[in-house]
Structure 1
Amino acid sequence: MIGSRRRARSTVNVWPGYVDALSALLMLIIFMLLVYVVSQLYLSQTLSDRNTELAHLNDRLNGLSELLGAEEDRNTVLTSQLGASLQRNDELQTRFDGVRNRLMQISAESGAQEERLEAQSQAIADRDKTLEEKDEFSASQQDTILQLSNQIAALEQQLRVIANALELQEDETADREAELENVSRRLNTLLAERVSELEQYQSQFFSRLRDILKENENIRVVGDRFLLPSELLFASGSAQLGSAGQRELAKLAEVLLEVADRIPDDIDWILRIDGHTDLIPINTERFPSNWELSTARAVAVVRYLAGEGVPEQRMAAAGFGEFFPVAEGTSPQALQQNRRIELKLTDR
């Protein structure tokens, strides 16, 4: 009996239990792998989003830096204009001080003359008193007294005229000072308004140019100026516009005409075109130096823009040669940056 029970136990199959345990363990491992893969994907997406946000923040920071540079340049221009206005006010004040001193001198001279007249009147009165004590007066003495009396009357009349003129001059001076002070305030206000309006149109002009010329990486903005590389417009050592440069200038002319139509006629604005070269000298029959080359390139840009409809009286061309670099050194990159055409919308 006992032997038969042992044989029954030994015939029991335990492999299905092991298989179930292994299956459960395998499913657990697969689940953990899925969780790991999903977490890695989530972390990768999160890092990508953060990198994108950092790139956007860097772009915004660069834009703010450019705006800050433009604001600093405009503040410099406004400070210069304010200094000129203050200098003009000082000159006017100096002139008024001179007029006031002259009037005070005239008043002092009139007072001295009045004292002399009073002394003469007293002398004549004393003389009249002396003559009255005499019984007889000669005809010549009476004529002298009459002449002196007439002279005294004429001098008194002149004194009254001078006093009235002084009072009138003082009133006119006070009115003129008040008027000049009012005119100065109005001029400062008008100047501030005109500068503010021109800055608005400058902002519109540069904003449109940035949008149109943003595809060209070589075009840069420094403060309130657009810098176009010479290689974009001209061949080396030449002042003849190329086809690529004409296309870019045509875009610029279209934007300028669009903005110019909205600028009021009483704002005296101009577009400055400045030519610059690198420090490598040139000596050809047409261009003996970099002065001639930079000036000829600026004039070529002006002539092309005039052909596109930009008013000639609203443009100015100047050549600066190699004397105002924007990059130091003699590396190819520095030389390329210094060969440029600068555009600036400003007042005349």
Structure 2
Amino acid sequence: MAGSRLRRRDARTDYWPGFVDAMASLLLVIIFLLSIFVLAQFFLGQQLSGRDTVLNRLNAQISELTELLALERASGRDLEDTIASLTANLNDAESERDRLAGLLDASSNQADQAGGAVATLETALDAEKRISQRALSQVELLNQQISALRRQIGALESALEASESRDRESQTKIADLGRRLNVALAQRVQELSRYRSDFFGRLREILSQRSDIRVVGDRFVFQSEVLFSSGEDTINPAGEAELKKLADAVKEPAVQIPDEINWVLRVDGHTDARPLSGTGRFRNNWELSAARAISVVRYLIDQGVDPERLVAAGFGEFQPLEEGDDPEALARNRRIELKLTER
């Protein structure tokens, strides 16, 4: 009986050491995780602080450069203002010197006239002489100031002349670059014009048998009836045959034109001025003209023309070749135009 009670007492006290060990282990794990979190926060804060420092340094450098640029631009105007002010001071000083010199001459004349006067006049002469001495001292001081002003003006004029010389050199360089750019652009235009002439000449040879395909200015014009049925954007079989010839003609100059000429073949869709009913696929002439231009571009791409060299545009009825609403004018205004141009 006593042994049973002892075993039950021992059984009740066996749980406590395991519970303490579990709690200690859990506490160690929590402390370890907190240490890792603190270290991560520390390193992250160091990295963010370094980035903020670099960003602030860059912002400070940008501000300094902006201020230096503003000072450089204002330096020329400040020099001119300073020269004008010094010149005005020089003029005032010379006027004052002339006035004092006049006073000195007047005093000398009075002294000569009073040579035989009484003692009171001698007293007045002494006073005039003292005034004359002061005037001479002031004139000498003014001469020194005038000389200093002239030296400052000379230095400022030299600085202004140097600044103006730099400006003239900069303007000369800019003008030279502009001329060179214009020459380069003119050469590019001439080269493209030559290839455009060759391209149109080739098209004339291929499509010369049709009266409804013609050249107007710098554009090759297909009447819409050659390619499309009325109100449609699907190319008919006869139109595909003509566009096949066109695609072959386009691929020939594409190989010959230098890579530095960024040329494109622009396909423009045009309609006549008659409005659409709005109940079909297209609500207005804008949509119809654009869809037809896109259909031509897609067909040329299918025939092997580089899509990077093609542009589709729709003009609706707003760029007519002829004014009027007679059948002939309406027919001429319904067209697809091709133009070899630079992007």
Relative to the length of structure 2, the TM-score reads: 0.55
Secondary structure in structure 2 of the residue aligned to 1:217: coil
**Alignment pair present for 1:330 and 2:338:** no
Cα distance in 2 between the residues matched to 1:256 and 1:166: 60
Secondary structure in structure 2 of the residue aligned to 1:261: helix
Identify the match of residue 210 of structure 2 among 201, 210, 216: 216
Cα distance in 1 between the residues matched to 2:280 and 2:215: 34
Amino acid at match of 1:301: V
Give the superposition deviation at 1:160. 11
Cα RMSD for the two superposed structures: 3.3
The gaps in structure 2 that reach 5 residues or longer are 1-71, 91-152
Greater shift, 207-216 or 317-326, is seen at 317-326
Give the superposition deviation at 1:164. 8.0
Identify the match of residue 184 of structure 1 among 178, 182, 205: 178
Identify the match of residue 105 of structure 1 among 77, 80, 83: 77
Listed one character per residue, the Cα deviations across residues 194-246 of structure 1 (whole Å, up to 9, x for unaligned) are 11111100000000000001122211111111110111111111111112211
Query: In the comparison of the two structures, how many residue pairs are matched?
Result: 216
Greater shift, 206-215 or 101-110, is seen at 101-110
Amino acid at match of 2:320: P
Identity of aligned residues (%): 49
- Which of structure 1's runs of 4+ aligned residues deviate more than 4 A? 100-104, 112-118, 159-168
Higher RCO structure (Cα 8 Å, ≥6 apart): 1
Could you tell me whether the CA contact under 8 Å between 1:103 and 1:166 is conserved in 2? Answer: no
The gaps in structure 1 that reach 5 residues or longer are 1-99, 119-158
Could you tell me whether the CA contact under 8 Å between 2:231 and 2:288 is conserved in 1? Answer: yes
Listed one character per residue, the Cα deviations across residues 274-320 of structure 1 (whole Å, up to 9, x for unaligned) are 11111221123421001100011011111111222222222221111
Secondary structure in structure 1 of the residue aligned to 2:212: coil
Cα distance in 2 between the residues matched to 1:242 and 1:162: 80
Cα distance in 2 between the residues matched to 1:168 and 1:266: 41
Give the superposition deviation at 1:172. 2.5
Amino acid at match of 1:230: S
Cα distance in 1 between the residues matched to 2:260 and 2:244: 27
1:254 is aligned to 248
1:295 is aligned to 290
Could you tell me whether the CA contact under 8 Å between 2:290 and 2:315 is conserved in 1? Answer: yes
1:15 is aligned to none
1:230 is aligned to 224
Listed one character per residue, the Cα deviations across residues 54-98 of structure 1 (whole Å, up to 9, x for unaligned) are xxxxxxxxxxxxxxxxxxxxxxxxxxxxxxxxxxxxxxxxxxxxx
Superposition map of 1:273-292 within 5 A: 273-282=267-276, 283-292=278-287
Give the superposition deviation at 1:327. 2.5
Amino acid at match of 1:109: D
2:315 is aligned to 320
